[in-house]
Amino acid sequence: MKKLAIYIPSIESGGVEKNLYSISEYFLKKNIDLYIITANTNKKKFFNKKAKFICPKNKNWNKSSRLVKNFICSILTIKNLKKTNIPIFSFQSNISAIILSKILGLKIAIRLNTSLSKYMKGFLKKTFFKLVYNMSDKIIVNSNIFKKELKRTLSLDSIAILNPLNVKKIINKKKINFFLNFNGIKIISIGRLTDQKSQILILKSLKYLKRKKIKFKFFLIGKGDKLNELKKYVKNNELVNHVKFAGYKKNAYEYLGYSDLFVLSSEFEGLPNVLIEAQVHNIPIISSDCPTGPREILLNGKLGTLFKVGDYIALSKAIIDFYKNSKTFKKKANLAKKYLYRFDYNKNLYKYYNTIKTIF
C-alpha cells in the first residue's frame, strides 16, 4: 500500500479545509495509507477514521498561532518521517515543508491556494520563493489564471486543478430569520472577517445605498479579528437595523438559498468556494476582480459582475444596477449553472490522485 503524509499544521474553517477533507477521503478510497501532520487534534472528527494522525498529544496547541503550529509540526515530521520513503503533500506552510522534505530526502508536492499577490513583493522575495518552490517535485494551483500568474511571476510550471464540488451536499437550504417578511434587497456574504476579505468595503457601499434610499439587509457569516472594527462601523453609521453579524456557521452555504445577491469583496483569493456555492444556488454574484479566482469562476463577467478591488463606489453602483435590473443578473446566475461541470467532484479529485501518484 502506498503511503502519503499531508502537511497542514493549522486546520481552520475555510475553503482550503473543504478541499483537504474531500481529497483525503478520495485518497483513502484509492487505498493510500494516509498520514495527517497537524497541530489541530480537534479536527480529527472531520476525517475518515482510516486516516492516521501525526500530531502533538497536548491539545493546548489547537489555539496556537500558525507559526507555532508549523514549528511543532516540523519537529513531528522529522521525528516520524526520518528513514522512511513517505512523500509529503503540503497544503500549508509550503516553504517549511519543502525544506523538511530536502532534509529527509523525501519527495514533495505542494498546493498553492492563494494568489501570489498576498506575499510576492520585491525582487528578493521573488528570488527566494522561486528558488524554494523549484525544489518541489510537483506544484498544484487551484485555477488556470493562478497557473499563468505563477509562470509569469516566478517562471515556474504548475498543474491547475479546480476545486472539486460536491453539488449534492450544497443544495440544502436554511432560512434566515433576519430576511423574513422583508421586500428589499437581501444581500449575503461569507468569509473570515480579515483584512484579506475586506468586508469593510461592503459596509461602506451599504452606507452609500442608505443615502440613496434603497432598501436592503445584509447577512454576514464569518468570524475573525475584524469583527469589532466592523461592528463599530455599523454602529457609527446607523446601519444596525440593516446588518446582521451571524458569526461562524457550519455549512454556511446552506444559507445562500434565501438571499437575493451574493457579494465577495476580497483583496486576493485562490479559487473561492463561496462563489461556486452561490452559483449552485442560482444566486446572482457581485465580486471584486481580485487575483486569482473570481474572474475565472465568473468567466470574465459572463456569469456575474466584477468590480475593481477596493472600490466601494463601484460596488455600490453594481448593487444599484442589480436593484434596477435584477433580471440581467439572474440571467447570468442561470447561465452559471451550465458551467458547473468545471468543478466536477470526481473528475477533479482524480486529477489530484493522478498527480500525486507521480511522487510515489
Residues 185-240 have pLDDT tens digits of 999 999 999 999 999 999 999 999 999 999 999 999 999 999 999 999 999 999 99
Mean pLDDT computed over 57-62: 87
Distance CA 276, CA 282 (A): 10
Q: What is the mean pLDDT of the chain?
A: 94
Residue scoring higher pLDDT (14 or 45):
45
Cell of 319: 448593487
Q: Which run of H or of E encompasses 3?
A: strand 3-7
Q: Which residues contact 301 (CB under 8 A, 6 or more apart)?
A: 295
Residue 322 has pLDDT above 90, yes or no: yes
CB 197 within 8 A of CB 227: no
CB 221 within 8 A of CB 246: yes
CA 275, distance to chain mean position in Å, is: 10
Residue range 127-185, pLDDT digits in tens: 999 999 999 999 999 999 999 999 999 999 999 999 998 887 777 788 899 999 999 99
- All domains of the chain in start order, with CATH: 3-164+344-359 (3.40.50.2000), 168-343 (3.40.50.2000)
pLDDT of residue 198: 96
Residue range 99-134, pLDDT digits in tens: 999 999 999 999 999 888 777 778 898 999 999 999
CB 300 within 8 A of CB 279: no
CB 286 within 8 A of CB 262: yes
Residue with cell 442560482: 282
Q: Which residues contact 123 (CB under 8 A, 6 or more apart)?
A: none
Start-to-end C-alpha separation, the chain: 11
Distance CA 109, CA 32 (A): 15
Give the SS3 label for residue 179.
Answer: helix
Give the SS3 label for residue 121.
Answer: coil
Secondary structure letter of residue 92 according to DSSP: S
pLDDT of residue 194: 94
